[in-house]
Amino acid sequence: MSSRLYDWLDRRLNLKPVQRTLLDEPIPGGASWIYVFGSVTLFLFVLQAATGMFLALYYAPTPDHAYDSVRFIETEITFGWFVRGLHHWGASSMVVAIGLHMLQTFLYGAYKKPREVMWMVGVVLFLVVMTFAFTGYLLPWDQTAYWATQIGINMVGTVPLIGDFFSRVLRGGEILGALTLSRFFAIHVLFLPAILIGGIALHLFVLRRVGPAGPWTDDRASLASETFAPRQVYMDAVVIAAVFLVVATLAFSIPLPLTDKANPSDTSFVPVPEWYFLFYYELLKYVHGPLEPLATWVLPLCVILIMLFWPFIDRNPVRNPIRRPAALGSGLLFLFVVFGLLGISLKNLYAVPRTDPAVAQGRAIYAQLGCAGCHRIHGEGGAVAPDLSTIGYTRPDRAWHLKHFRDPQSVSPGSFMPKFPLTDQQLNDLTSYMLSLKRAT
Binding residues vs ligand HEC (CB under 6 A): 366, 369-371, 373-375, 385-386, 388, 391, 394-395, 401, 404, 408, 412, 415-418, 420, 430, 434
Nearer to ligand HEC, 96 or 360 (CB): 360
Nearer to ligand HEC, 357 or 373 (CB): 373
Minimum CB separation of residue 150 from ligand HEC in Å reads 18
Q: Are 81 and 12 in contact (CB under 8 A)?
A: no
Nearer to ligand HEC, 124 or 385 (CB): 385
Minimum CB separation of residue 432 from ligand HEC in Å reads 11
Nearer to ligand HEC, 320 or 415 (CB): 415
Tallying the residues shown for the chain, one arrives at 441
Nearer to ligand HEC, 114 or 373 (CB): 373
Nearer to ligand HEC, 22 or 369 (CB): 369
Residue nearest to ligand HEC (CB): 371
Minimum CB separation of residue 393 from ligand HEC in Å reads 10
Nearer to ligand HEC, 87 or 404 (CB): 404
Minimum CB separation of residue 356 from ligand HEC in Å reads 17
Minimum CB separation of residue 358 from ligand HEC in Å reads 14
Minimum CB separation of residue 266 from ligand HEC in Å reads 8
Nearer to ligand HEC, 121 or 440 (CB): 440
Nearer to ligand HEC, 298 or 369 (CB): 369
Q: Are 253 and 265 in contact (CB under 8 A)?
A: no
Tell me the backbone φ, ψ of residue 329, rounded to 5 degrees.
-60, -45
Minimum CB separation of residue 29 from ligand HEC in Å reads 59
Minimum CB separation of residue 69 from ligand HEC in Å reads 24
Minimum CB separation of residue 389 from ligand HEC in Å reads 10
